[in-house]
Homo-oligomer: A and B are copies of this chain.
């Protein structure tokens, strides 16, 4: 996937941006640490089901995910589809907190 194609795909992914040629990153904020951890558990389920695993950083109430496709040496549709699934999980998670 070219960087232009990646930028076009990412334009519709709220909270995500391209870091460089090989990585995209997205951040999510939560009401508290337990909510952030519950979200990470959900992300892990999605990652296992897709057999595509993000790098995950948990900074108290903030979760940052980074994606690349190792075997392709850069960004692919799999990264974009994963980010879309994570955003969907976040919307559900936030709705569940209300």
Contacts and interface: CB of A to CB of B under 8 A. Distances in A.
A15 interface: no
A53 to B, nearest CB: 5
A58 B56 contact: yes
Interface size class of A (residues with CB under 8 A): 10 to 19
Q: How many copies does the complex hold?
A: 2
A60 B55 CA distance: 7
B37 A44 contact: yes
A34 B48 contact: yes
A30 to B, nearest CB: 12
Contacts of A33: 44, 47-48, 53
A41 B48 CA distance: 16
10 smallest CB-CB distances across A and B, nearest first, come from: A56-B58, A37-B44, A57-B57, A53-B60, A55-B59, A33-B53, A41-B41, A34-B48, A37-B41, A33-B48
